[in-house]
Amino acid sequence: MKTNQDETVMPKSTEILTVGPAKIKNPINFGRFAEDDEAVLVNISRRNVDGSNRSKKTPDHVYFEAAGPREKIYYDASKTKCAVVTCGGLCPGLNDVIRAIVMTAHHEYKVTSVFGIQYGLAGFVPEQGYDVIDLTPEYVSRIHEFGGTVLGSSRGPQEPEAIVDALERMNVGILFMIGGDGTMRAASKVVKEISHRGLSISVVGLPKTIDNDINYASPSFGFDTSVETAAMAIKGAHVEATGAPWGIGLVKVMGRDAGYIAAQSALSCQEVNFCLIPEDPFDIHGENGLLAALDKRMRKSGDAVIVVAEGAGQELLKESSQKDASGNVQLSDIASLLKKEIITYFEDQGIEPTLKYIDPSYIIRSVPANANDRIYCSFLGINAVHAGMTGRTGMVISRWNGRYVHIPIELVTKGKKRINVQSNYWRAVLESTGQPTSLKNS
Ligand code: ATP
Ligand code: MG
C-alpha cells in the first residue's frame, strides 16, 4: 500500500490480511471514516524513548495501518455474529475491553449477537461443558466497575481445529481474542486453520500484558493501573521501613522478563532505594553486591525500600522445572531468597533488621482499571470492532506513537520488549533510587 505523504510503499511485513473485499456501506452515519492509506510511522525517532530495545531490523519509513471505521465493510451486520474470549493471566481493563467490543458491535453496527466464550480457549471445546454467554449491552453495562474478566480465563492448549469447529458451529463471523503472547500465537494458528478451510472468519487480537512486554503494544492496557497499584504497596513499604529501627521494605511486583512495573513504579514513588529487574543481573554478596550497597544505605539513612520484579535475579536461584498448563516455566522465588539473605546478613553483625515483605501481585492483577486505562481499553475495543467489520484478520489493535493502529499478529509475537539498561530511561530509575549503576561484582 502507498501512503499519500511520500509514496513510501507499505512493506509486506505490516500489511493486514482481509477475508474478502469490503463492499457494504458502513451503517455508521456520524464522524469521519479512515482512509485505507492512512498510516502511522513505526519509528518516529532513531531510538525509542521508553528505554526498550528498538528492533535494529525495522528500517525507517515503515508504517502501520491506521485504525478506525471504514466507509465500506465486509460483513453484513444484520447477519453477523461475533465472539469474544479472554485467555492467560488477569490484567486490569479486561472487562472494559469486552464492554467496548459489545457496545460498539451492538450499537454502532447492530450485529445479531456477541457470544462470550467462557474460561479461555477451553470454552470452545464441547467436552468442557461451558455455556456461551450472550453478551448484550445490558449484560456488560456495569462490568467495567469490576476487576478480572466476566468471561473467566484459563491456560492450557486447545487444538486450532477444535476452535474453528466451534466458530463454524456458532456461525461466528468475527472472533476477538484478548490475551498475552500465548493467546496471540494461538490466534495465529486459528487464522491459518480458517484460511486452510477457506472460511470467511476474521480474527482480531487485543494484546494483553501486565508486564508491558509485548512488542508494538506500548504501553499495554492495564499497565497504568498496575503501576498506580504497585506504587501504593511501595508507599506502604516505605512507611513500614521508616517506622522501625533498621527498617527494610521489600516489595515484589510482576515482571517475568521485563521490569517495567518495577521501574515505572520506582520512578513514580521516588522512595525506592533499590530497583531490581530481570534485564539487569545483580549479585547478592561481594563488595559490589546488593548487601554491601544496602549496608551502606542503612548506616547512612536507617531505612531502605527494595522493589524486585518477580523475574529478577533468576540466575541466582535453582532453575525451576515446573511449568504451568500453557507450558510457561514457573519462576523461582527471588523475594524469599532476598529476605533470607538480608536478615542473615544483618543478624550476623548482631543487628536485628525489621524487614516487611509485601507481595501485591494478585491485587495489581485484579483491581478495576483506572481512568486512563478505561479510556484506553474503550478505544482498543471500539477499533477492534471497526477492523473486524471490514474483514481484516490476523491482526491486533494497538496504540503506537499516539495513534490507534492495525498490526499483523506475527509482528507482536516475534520476541518480547525489554528495558534497555543502557538507556536514559533506566538511568532515570537509577538516579531516582540512588543505587549503584551495577550491583555485579565484575
Ligand atoms: P499471559 O501472558 O498473561 O500468561 P498468555 O496469553 O501468554 O497470557 P498463556 O496461558 O501462555 O497466556 O496462553 C493462553 C492460551 O493460548 C492458552 O490456552 C495456551 O494453551 C494457548 N497458547 C499458548 N501458546 C500457544 C501456541 N504457541 N500455540 C497455540 N496455542 C497457544
Ligand atoms: Mg504469556
Q: Residue 156: CB within 6 Å of ligand 1? A: yes
Task: Give the pLDDT of residue 51.
Answer: 55
DSSP assignment of 274-304, as one string? Answer: EEE-TTS---SSSTTSHHHHHHHHHHHHSEE
Q: Residues 25, 130: one domain?
A: yes
- ipTM score of complex: 0.98
Q: Residues 140, 202: one domain?
A: yes
Domains in the chain, number: 2
Strands (E), 302-350: 303-309
Please check whether residue 348 lies inside any domain of the structure.
yes
In the block, residue with C-alpha cell 456458532: 170
Q: How far is CA 238 from the centre of its chain?
A: 28
- The residues with which 40 forms a beta bridge, in sequence order, are 64
Task: Give the pLDDT of residue 107.
Answer: 97
Which of 185, 210, 215, 362 for mutating ligand 1's site (highest number of atoms within 8 Å of CB)? Answer: 185
Q: Where are the alpha helices (DSSP H) in 206-269?
A: 223-242, 260-269
Please check whether residue 442 lies inside any domain of the structure.
no
d(CA 135, CA 117): 10
Report the atom number in ligand 1 closest to the C-alpha of 179. 6
Task: Give the pLDDT of residue 7.
Answer: 32
Task: Give the pLDDT of residue 8.
Answer: 36
Q: Residues 41, 186: one domain?
A: yes
Report the CATH number at residue 358. Answer: 3.40.50.460
Report the CATH number at residue 19. Answer: 3.40.50.450
What 325-330 contacts at long range (C-beta under 8 Å, 24+ apart), as own/partner pairs, is 325/154, 325/155, 325/156, 325/157, 326/88, 326/155, 326/156, 326/157, 326/182, 327/157, 328/155, 328/182
Q: Residues 196, 345: one domain?
A: no
Q: Residues 353, 299: one domain?
A: yes
Please check whether residue 7 lies inside any domain of the structure.
no
Task: Give the pLDDT of residue 55.
Answer: 52
Where is 403: in which H helix or E strand?
strand 403-408
Q: Residue 157: CB within 6 Å of ligand 1? A: yes
**Dist. CA 51 → ligand 2 center (Å):** 21
Q: Residues 68, 194: one domain?
A: yes
Position 10: which residue type?
Answer: M
Q: Residue 90: CB within 6 Å of ligand 1? A: no
Task: Give the pLDDT of residue 207.
Answer: 97
**Dist. CA 181 → ligand 1 center (Å):** 6
Q: What are phi and psi of 205, to 5 degrees?
A: -95, 150
Name the residue range of residue 307's domain.
224-366+422-433
d(CA 278, CA 253): 12
- 406 neighbors 14 (Cβ within 8 angstroms): no
Residues in the chain, overall count: 442
Using CB atoms within 10 A of its CB, is residue 278 exposed (0-12), middle (13-18) or buried (19+)? buried
Q: Residues 105, 169: one domain?
A: yes
Please check whether residue 253 lies inside any domain of the structure.
yes
Q: Residues 307, 387: one domain?
A: no
Please check whether residue 5 lies inside any domain of the structure.
no
Report the atom number in ligand 1 closest to the C-alpha of 91. 3
**Dist. CA 318 → ligand 2 center (Å):** 22
Q: Residue 181: CB within 6 Å of ligand 1? A: yes
Which one from 211, 213, 224, 283 is the annotated catalytic residue? 211
Which of 155, 163, 223, 323 for mutating ligand 1's site (highest number of atoms within 8 Å of CB)? Answer: 155
Catalytic residue status for 181: no
Cβ-based neighbour number of residue 147 at 10 Å: 20
Please check whether residue 440 lies inside any domain of the structure.
no
Please check whether residue 3 lies inside any domain of the structure.
no
Name 242's Cβ contacts closer than 8 Å, sequence gap at least 6. 303
Q: Residue 183: CB within 6 Å of ligand 1? A: yes
Cβ-based neighbour number of residue 281 at 10 Å: 16
Cis preceding-peptide flag for 219 (omega within 30 of 0) = yes
Closest CA to 416 of 207, 128, 231: 207
pLDDT tens, the chain, 442 aa long: 333 333 334 455 799 999 999 999 999 999 999 998 899 988 877 655 555 555 555 556 789 999 999 999 999 999 999 999 999 999 999 999 999 999 999 999 999 999 999 999 999 999 999 999 999 999 999 999 999 999 999 999 999 999 999 999 999 999 999 999 999 999 999 999 999 999 999 999 999 999 999 999 878 999 999 999 999 999 999 999 999 999 999 999 999 999 999 999 999 999 999 999 999 999 999 999 999 999 999 999 999 999 999 999 999 998 777 889 888 888 989 999 999 999 999 999 999 999 999 999 999 999 999 999 999 999 999 999 999 999 999 999 999 999 999 999 999 988 889 999 999 999 999 999 999 999 999 8
Q: Residues 205, 295: one domain?
A: no
Q: Residues 321, 384: one domain?
A: no
Task: Give the pLDDT of residue 50.
Answer: 55
Name 371's Cβ contacts closer than 8 Å, sequence gap at least 6. none
The helix/strand/coil state of 199 is coil
Q: Residues 67, 189: one domain?
A: yes
The residue contributing the CA closest to ligand 1 atom 30 is 186
Cβ-based neighbour number of residue 104 at 10 Å: 24
